[in-house]
Structure 1
Amino acid sequence: MRPLLLLLFLCLASPAVAATGCEDAWFTRNQIMDRAGYCFSTPLGRAMFDNSDCVGTQVRPDPYYQPVIDEILKREAQHNCRVDTGRQWLDLEDVQFRRALSDFPIKDEFEGGCLGWTGAQTPLYAGYREPFRAIGQITQGDYVHFGHNAVHGAGEAGWAYVTIHQPAWGAFKSAGWLYWPGERPCADYAG
């Protein structure tokens, strides 16, 4: 119970949770539209996505991602999301890693953490479909935050988009898609 209370306290004080689920959802939904060639007109859209390869405002995303967009829109409606698109930043610590993604995460309403990775150095990938391209890593002792829906797996096996921190929820280090075929090697769990 103590680790869970410590995690809650650290998360409430941490910039890692400063980003609301609404900001996370806004970024993912609009990242999909950016990849489809959408031209952003708001200050936030232009700041987050450079418009250098945009083709217009009447674009269609890859049909593969339509279920992701539908789920995000549903959650944004459920939570009455209103992101201020007049500003020029989002409080997403992992934004540079997310720009490199080929598969896009959906924020989970239930989060958890691995308090001290005990496994070998493990790569994090840009996506959960081939070709696999490493964009980050987990090293022994790292804290692993599970804050997005897992995909392609039953139980603990499968893919999860994770963010990596120094021990005791220290500084942000890395992010990406983690594949683990069974129980994750953690000193302790929270969430």
Structure 2
Amino acid sequence: MRRLAILSLVLPLATPSLAAFPCDELWGERNAVYADAGYCFRTARGIAAFGNAGCRYDDIRDVPLSARDRAKVNEIVRQERENGCRG
């Protein structure tokens, strides 16, 4: 499994430095959280980046995330919106 662990040093929570990361890296870090928690990816991009070996959750709403991981995902999503990232 390929992991784009680039933000673990600048997160766990809001930081102005997130704006410096390109959309692809934000996408990768956000989805790495879900992959680590057992999400089964549906898109070719997600499957290519993370695979589905050992996945357990087909619905992203069912993926159990810690409060820290949920905050990390929310902050990344906020930054993706601010940067105008798509998908």
Instruction: Report the TM-score, using the length of structure 1 for normalisation.
Output: 0.32
Q: Secondary structure at the match of 1:82?
A: coil
What RMSD over aligned residues (CA atoms) do the two structures have, in Å?
1.4
Unaligned regions of 5+ residues in structure 2, if any? 1-20
| 2:82 is equivalent to residue 81 of structure 1 | no
- Specify the code of the residue in structure 2 equivalent to 1:65: D
In the alignment, the residues of structure 1 paired with residue 75 and residue 47 of structure 2 have an alpha-carbon distance, to the nearest angstrom, of 24
Deviations 1:67-90 (A, max 9, x none): 21111011011111014xxxxxxx
Find the residue that maps to 1:31 and give its secondary structure. helix
Q: Which one has the bigger helix percentage?
A: 2
Give 2:71's aligned residue.
67
Q: What corresponds to 2:49 in structure 1?
A: 48
**Identity over aligned pairs, percent:** 33
Matched AA of 1:39:
C
Aligned equivalent of 1:27: 28
Where do 1:114-125 residues align within 5 Å? none
| Greater relative contact order (CA < 8 Å, ≥ 6 in sequence) | 2
Helix, strand or coil: the match of 1:61? coil
Report the alpha carbon displacement of residue 60 of structure 1 after superposing the two structures with TM: 2.3
How many residues are aligned here? 64
Task: Structure 1: give runs of 5+ residues left out of the alignment.
Answer: 1-19, 84-191
Contact 1:35 1:61 in 2 (8 A): no
Q: Secondary structure at the match of 2:32?
A: helix
Q: TM-score, normalised by structure 2?
A: 0.66
How do residues 104-143 of structure 1 correspond to structure 2 at under 5 angstroms? none
